[in-house]
Structure 1
Amino acid sequence: MAKLWGGRFSKNTNELVDAFNASIEFDKRLYHEDIRGSIAHAQMLGKCGIIPAEDVEKIVAGLETILADIEAGNFSFEVALEDIHMNIEARLTERIGVAGARLHTARSRNDQVALDMHMYMKREIVEIGELLLQFEKALLAVAQKHDRTLMPGYTHLQRAQPITFAHHLLAYFNMLQRDFRRLQGVWSGADMMPLGAGAIAGTTFPIDRFDVAEQLNFGSVYANSMDAVSDRDYIIEFLSFASVLMMHMSRLSEEICLWSSTEFGFIELDDAFATGSSMMPQKKNPDIAELVRGKTGRVYGHLQAMLVTAKGLPLTYNKDLQEDKEGFFDAVDTVKFSLAVYSDMISTMTVNVEKMEQAVSKDFSNATDLADYLVRKGLPFRQAHEVVGKCVAYAIHQGKFLPEISLEEYKTFSALFEEDLLEALQPENCVAARTSYGGPAFSENAKQFSRGDVLLAEQQVVLDDLKARI
């Protein structure tokens, strides 16, 4: 098959080179953006008097039929044509003749592919934002159901202080809020229009880049043609966002795996979101959580690969930059799948309230509250810490927990202990007393739920605005 760039060459390309050079197997997903961008480019060329108006009509009509063919599954992509751009252009010229050959006037595949990627990313940002919002809503809804469900809070994976399950989930909710903020930042880099930069130095034709930007809903236009075709910052920014988001989801995945184990027994995943063993009939495995945890490393790898690919490239375009797509596409798919499946998994899991509350009543996570009790009686905290440490050591030696020690025994450690100490040791009182902003008190949970509803509504407004600009 003749190459659209083959005029300079006297030999056919080696078949292995064709296969190695081609990107069509993964960049064909850019077909919608490629066609939409080409229509805008053709219409601009017509307005500027660069190609005849009748050719513009033929080009637009031809591209629309190709779009319909692709979406109907009636389009055959050819490896010999290398990429999505040349596959579409070759088919267009085949159908409408010389008018199709005029489409590539005043542009290069360098700025064309950059345009496609910017447009594609904007669309994916909105879709990921909607899935992220859905996951946040799921977390908030489960938290609201368990605003008074007590559980141990952990540091170093050791029981530390009593909290509520709602407070624990709200921590992840806040992480996702930051992820949404980062996703908004990614939009800024994606919302720049590169077409018209040509291969490196723009074009001699009197094009109107701002007209194309307006047609395609871009907020700004690259001010430097060399930067426009070589920039991959926006992809690196997306992969950075994706890596942080997946890190947050991986942390939650680890907790899901722990909580669903027999040793913890805090939750049970719905049967629809767990798998069994081919050998051991009793098993119920948290495979989804494990997969998300595993796929996090995969997304990290894509970020690292893109950074390494770009770090030594001279300006402007180099074929190395073709490597920007596979990792990016895979990261997009991984993030979208992870968010979608997690929303449903979290919403359908069973929370073992009694098991959580039993755990928090059979440990020493109320020790800090006992120290605070002594501080309120006038003892400096460092001394109170030492006294309670001795009480804990004594209780362990006696095979008891702090509420099981008698007042007489407590008084051997400090005369400040009185009968009201038992109230201070009750887990629900420990939680209720922690009313500092951002703490786990029931009253604070209520405030955070209201705050969450406001934040989710604000995010929806942002997404509606972005959706209108893709």
Structure 2
Amino acid sequence: MAQLWGGRFTGSINELAWNFNASITFDKRFLEVDVRGSKAHASMLAKQGIISEEEKEQIVNGLDSILQDVIDGKLEITTKYEDIHSFLEANLIDRIGDAGKKVHTGRSRNDQVALDMRLYARGEVEHMSELLRNMLNCLNGIMKDNLDTYMPGFTHLQKAQPVTLAHHIGAYYEMFKRDLLRMKDIYNRMNYCPLGAGALAGTTYPLDREYTAELLDFFGPTLNSMDSVSDRDYLIEFMSALSTIMMHLSRFSEEVIIWNSNEYRFVTIDDAYSTGSSIMPQKKNPDIAELVRGKTGRVYGDLMSLLTTMKGIPLAYNKDMQEDKEAFFDAVDNTSNCLTLFTDMLATIKFNKSAMEKSAMMGFTNATDAADYLVNKGMPFRDAHSVIGKLVLYCIDKNCSIDELAIDELKSFSEMFDSDIYNAISLETCVNKRLTIGAPSPDAMKKVISINEEFIKNYSLK
């Protein structure tokens, strides 16, 4: 058992207690950021004259060699070590001797862990931003290709008014756009360096925390040493944003699942993102969309786990906080996988435009426009609403759409109907006359698509 402590103890720790306390099985993914942080710390120590330049070079080269050996499979990270920090320090001392014992000067494992988590989380924010950018590019491409793909818009899962696929997809664009903007907010709040905070009260060594922060691309050092090591609100904020991303993915998945059903047939999912049945040969199941929907609850659970862990911890560091890692890693891994797979599935999906248009026609989505037609002829809206309601009931009995009725049939409900009604309630007219920004007409959508392209072009996380 390799540990960074022991001088205070005369007996050995219980093996079960050791395993319960250890974090090497999951914090080993901190290897690269721990190396980076330790190299920066050593460079700062040398700059301040706390260690020599020669010792710094030994430390830096030793850390690089350990990292490379792990990558090459020459060195294994095992449960012999308590955590990734003891693994690195023990192997560094084995390789370079006494100089390796100086790498921890002016540093506590508390601020070392806090630094690793910030560096790792920052990298995940950057990665999530790229995945969201990919999603937005995919969505904008679908919008550009479907400005005149008519489909029903829904409320309460009931067909409501005609829209276009571009307009419907544009709603998800706005959701994921806000998700991307949340990444920028999180980055700006979390990007401060806790290294140098010590266990909780700083250190008597003359550290240059601004220099360390600069080496690690932080905006600057954190300003309270107790807060630096004892809070994980930036993780909670990030995981909350991940939960929101998953909520948006889950809603989208639900629609893909519905659209893929035999009753709708709006989409055909590529074989690469579908599975079959072990007993029913005709089945083609939307498993990826269903799994994305299912994993949403898991990410929610990760967020609740960390919130619950943090809610009763007094200042400063407590071992409870070791529980931040597995929940965070799980949330990041699942959201990343779901976002990647869903974007790839969406990029290969085929939209059945004729089925969408037929569904809009048969769903009386133009009923509101028919009422507006009568209003424009001089009928009070409430009376027009009643006339069209009766007309819809008549069409349901005949199993036809309003457009399919003869003019004499229409006039039996109101003499105000004339031959221009057919153009007034065509899907094209219903959509195209909605010209305000944010509405589904092609002219309005083209403006939005242009805004989207500028947003992606100019977006920067930093």
TM-score bracket relative to the smaller structure: over 0.9
How many percent of aligned residue pairs carry the same amino acid?
51
Q: Is the 8 A contact 1:148 1:442 kept in 2?
A: yes
CA spacing shift, 1:21–1:196, aligned 2, 3 Å: same
Contact 1:267 1:352 in 2 (8 A): yes
Q: Is the 8 A contact 2:2 2:86 kept in 1?
A: no
Distance in 1 (CA, whole Å) between partners of 2:422 and 2:363 is 15
Alpha carbons of 1:363 and 1:2: their partners in 2 closer, same or farther (altered >3 Å)?
Answer: closer
Structure 1 residue aligned with 2:237: 237
Two-structure CA RMSD over aligned residues (Å): 1.4
* Superposition deviation, residue 273 in structure 1: 1.0
Deviation at 1:2, TM superposition (A): 5.0
Cα distance between partner residues in 1 of 2:288 and 2:404: 41
The question of 1:440 aligning with 2:440 is answered yes
Quote the residue 1:276 is aligned against.
276
Asked if residue 14 in structure 1 is aligned to residue 14 in structure 2, the reply is yes
Does the Cα contact within 8 Å between 2:109 and 2:199 map onto a contact in 1?
A: yes
Residues of 1 paired with 2:377 and 2:307: CA distance?
58
Matching residue's letter, 2:298: R
Deviations 1:89-111 (A, max 9, x none): 11101111111111111111110
Q: How many angstroms apart in 1 are the aligned matches of 2:99 and 2:266?
A: 67
CA contact (8 A) 1:58 1:96 kept: yes
Amino acid at match of 1:344: D
CA separation in 2, counterparts of 1:399 and 1:340? 43
2:209 is aligned with 1:186: no
2:120 matched to which residue of 1? 120
Q: What is the identity, as a one-letter code, of the residue corresponding to 2:82?
A: E
Which residue in the other structure is 2:336 paired with? 336
Query: Per-residue deviation at 1:350?
Result: 1.2
Structure 1 gap segments, 5+ residues each: none
Q: Which runs of 5+ in 2 are unaligned?
A: none
Q: Give the structure 2 partner of residue 69 of structure 1.
A: 69
SS in 2 for 1:315: coil
1:251 shift after superposition: 0.4
1:150 aligns with 2:150: yes
Q: C-alpha distance in 1, partners of 2:74/2:438?
A: 57
Please report how far the alpha carbon of residue 430 of structure 1 lies from its aligned counterpart in structure 2 after TM superposition.
0.9
* Counterpart residue number, 1:368: 368
Distance 1:69 1:305, change over 3 A: same
How much does 1:444 deviate?
A: 1.4
198-207 or 43-52, which moves further after superposition? 43-52
Instruction: Show the 5 A alignment for 1:383-422.
Output: 383-422=383-422
Amino acid of the structure 1 residue aligned with 2:111: D
1:207 aligned residue: 207
1:93 maps to which residue?
Answer: 93
Q: Show the counterpart of 1:196.
A: 196
TM-score w.r.t. structure 1 length? 0.95
Q: Deviations over 1:406-439 (max 9, x none)?
A: 3333334333322211111211211111112211
Cα pair 1:267 1:351 within 8 Å, conserved: yes
Displacement, 1:400?
3.3
Structure 2 distance, partners of 1:35, 1:28, is 11
Q: CA deviation at 1:53?
A: 2.5
Q: What corresponds to 1:49 in structure 2?
A: 49
Structure 2 distance, partners of 1:73, 1:375, is 77
* Counterpart check, 1:169 vs 2:177: no
Q: Does the aligned pair in 2 maintain the 1:189–1:233 contact within 8 Å?
A: no
Aligned to 1:79, the other structure's residue is in SS state coil
Residue deviations 1:376-406, cap 9 Å, x none? 2233323322222222223323443212333
> In the aligned structure 2, how far is the partner of 1:399 from the partner of 1:46?
84
Q: Which moved more, 1:213-222 or 1:410-419?
A: 410-419
**Aligned equivalents of 1:165 and 1:323: distance in 2?**
44
SS of equivalent residue, structure 2 residue 7: helix
What do the CA deviations read for 1:164-210 (whole angstroms, capped 9, x no partner)? 11111111111110000111111023201001110110011111111
Q: 1:142/1:279 Cα in 2 relative to 1: closer, same or farther (>3 Å)?
A: same
Amino acid at match of 1:374: L
CA deviation after TM superposition for structure 1 residue 80, in Å: 3.6
Give 3-state SS (helix, strand or coil) of 2:152's partner. strand
Cα 1:400–1:351 change in 2 (3 A) is closer
Q: Which residue of 1 aligns with 2:319?
A: 319
2:437 touches 2:448 (CA, 8 Å); kept in 1?
no
CA contact (8 A) 2:133 2:456 kept: yes
Q: Could you tell me the TM-score, scaled by structure 2's length?
A: 0.97
Contact 2:107 2:195 in 1 (8 A): yes
Check conservation: 1:151, 1:162, Cα contact below 8 A: yes
Name the CA distance, whole Å, in 1 between partners of 2:381 and 2:16: 74
| Displacement of 1:9 | 0.7
Rounded to whole Å, the distance in 1 between the matches of 2:126 and 2:28 is 20
Does the CA contact (< 8 Å) of 2:269 and 2:286 recur in 1? yes
Contact 1:149-1:164 at 8 Å conserved across structures: yes
* 351-360 vs 293-302, which moves further: 351-360
**1:40 aligned partner, one-letter code:** A
Look up the match of 2:249. Answer: 249
Once the two structures are superposed, what CA deviation does each residue of 1:270-319 show, in whole Å capped at 9, x if it has no partner? 11111111111111111110111011111111111111110000001011
- Number of residues of Structure 1 aligned to a counterpart in Structure 2: 462
Separation in 2, partners of 1:33, 1:221: 17
Encode CA deviations 1:318-339: one digit per residue, 9 max, x unaligned. Answer: 1110111111111111122112
Classify 1:399/1:273 alpha carbon distance in 2 versus 1 (closer, same or farther; 3 Å). Answer: closer
Contact 1:138 1:343 (C-alpha < 8 Å) held by counterparts: yes
Bigger shift: 427-436 or 267-276? 427-436
Query: Cα distance, 1:88 vs. partner?
Result: 0.3
2:357 partner amino acid: E
Contact 1:372 1:381 in 2 (8 A): yes
